[in-house]
Structure 1
Amino acid sequence: MDNGRKTVVVTGFGPFGHHTVNASWVAVKELEQLGLGPDVDLHVHEVPVEYQTVQSLVPSLWEQYHPQLVVHVGVSGAATAITLEKCGRNRGYKRLDNSSFCPGTHCCVEGGADCIDSVIDMETVCKRVNTSGLDVSVTVSKDAGRYLCDYIYYLSLHLSSGCSAFVHVPPLEQPYSGEELGHALRAILLEMLEQLGQDRGTNHYEHRH
């Protein structure tokens, strides 16, 4: 991290099912317009809703950028608040993706831990954003849903020793606009970066590649 600069990678998902416009990618594009300040190099990527693409793409993002933080964003039709996911799970992937594929073993990483927690204290991030004056509601969850959202999160957590995050957003206008979601993401990521910065010098920054 030269001169205190940080590299952050943020992904959103492409269309799937009835989500012909995926709110997660709209929110990430809004975040890209806003940026994270002059000291943060922000890279965004749209991810197809496909297990095999995720399996190859996520390691390549870590390898290419060596980021301090990767945040994956996905849409949840059931969500009415912006949801910070605390952990990713390795098993239970039985739902077919956009290519009508699911892992034959129904798991993400053979021999991996059943569950990996993020090193980020999501409760603290949630509390700070909820009291920051932004007109959005943020909550915390321990179940990212055993589909591509959970799958990409677990894989990133596995590759980064927990230095990843996942944010679920509601569908557009239910109740937030893309612009509101973008501003919320920006506030959430800045809190996460501040928290990680306070932990600098610990092994949170010693990623395995």
Structure 2
Amino acid sequence: MRTVLLTGFEPFDQDTINPSWEAVRRLDGTDLCDGVRIIARQLPCAFVTSGTRLNELLAEHSPKMVIATGLASGRSELSIERVAINLNDARIPDNLAYQPIDTAVEAGGPAAYFSTLPIKAMVKALREAGIPAAVSQTAGTFVCNKVFYSLQHALAGSGVRSGFIHVPYLPEQVARSAPGQPSLALETLVEGLRIATLSAWNTQADIAESGGQVS
């Protein structure tokens, strides 16, 4: 049985839930397709410990593909990230009260890594299923980007494909503490991540069509 690893983050700041974890944990233990099983694990929302935990999971499970996920407030769709940059620049502290400013994710590492997933094919599959999706050209400079960069750095040259997906708020989060923010239902997020993961697994060469955003 081959393994696909999905990760989501623990709740951050004042939130009691994180939609990335709520969605991926519902896929834990399910069969993506014949001979391929999804495992879902939670990462801390902290610069120092998230990379350590990620490396532990990679060593423990030896996955054949990895997709990390996180929350992006203000987005209304599943954002398939294209690039991770070698920069930590935190607007606010993480869950361990750490706030790095203009530091490297990996000292001496490349300026950036691209996703090794077929990002435009994933967007196409999601849109065909009626799920809002787009290629995103920035994963930010907070812990999500840190995990994305660390993941690509750890797997560089291994042949294991990997990348990052940002998800919106859940409706209940908006109603409780983020009025006016866009959201998607949990069921939509779960099905969207399943479709995106299956598309990534089944697609070796990405398609060439417009799928990005201006910003």
Q: Taking structure 2 as the reference length, what is the TM-score of the superposition?
A: 0.82
Q: Is there any run of 5+ residues in structure 2 with no aligned partner, and where? A: 172-181, 207-215
Amino acid across the alignment from 1:118: S
Q: Tell me which residue corresponds to 2:210.
A: none
Q: Is there any run of 5+ residues in structure 1 with no aligned partner, and where? A: 200-209
Amino acid across the alignment from 1:110: A
Distance 1:56 1:92, change over 3 A: closer
CA distance in 2, matches of 1:28, 1:67: 16
CA distance in 1, matches of 2:194, 2:124: 15
Deviation readout 1:169-195 (Å, 9 max, x if unpaired): 110124421111101100000000112
Q: Is the 8 A contact 1:73 1:166 kept in 2?
A: yes
How many residues are aligned here?
A: 192
Deviation readout 1:102-125 (Å, 9 max, x if unpaired): 447622111001110012231122
Q: Tell me which residue corresponds to 1:185.
A: 193
Q: Tell me which residue corresponds to 1:168.
A: 166
Distance 1:102 1:41, change over 3 A: same
Distance 1:92 1:24, change over 3 A: same
CA distance in 2, matches of 1:46, 1:138: 23
Q: Tell me which residue corresponds to 1:91.
A: 87
- 1:8 is aligned to 2:8: no
Identity rate of aligned residues, in percent? 27
Deviation readout 1:58-115 (Å, 9 max, x if unpaired): 1111111111111111011111011000111111333421111144762211100111
Q: CA deviation at 1:33?
A: 6.6
Superposed counterparts of 1:10-49, under 5 Å? 10-32=6-28, 35-49=31-45
Q: Tell me which residue corresponds to 1:127.
A: 124
CA distance in 1, matches of 2:51, 2:116: 22
CA distance in 2, matches of 1:92, 1:58: 17
Superposed counterparts of 1:188-203, under 5 Å? 188-196=196-204
Which residue of 104, 126, 133 maps to 1:138?
Answer: 133
Deviation readout 1:105-148 (Å, 9 max, x if unpaired): 622111001110012231122112211xx231111111101111
CA distance in 2, matches of 1:11, 1:26: 10
Q: Tell me which residue corresponds to 1:60.
A: 56
CA distance in 1, matches of 2:101, 2:78: 32
Secondary structure at the residue paired with 1:36? strand
CA distance in 2, matches of 1:41, 1:84: 21
Which residue of 70, 73, 82 maps to 1:74?
Answer: 70
CA distance in 2, matches of 1:187, 1:143: 22
Q: CA deviation at 1:160?
A: 0.9
Amino acid across the alignment from 2:168: P
Distance 1:106 1:68, change over 3 A: same
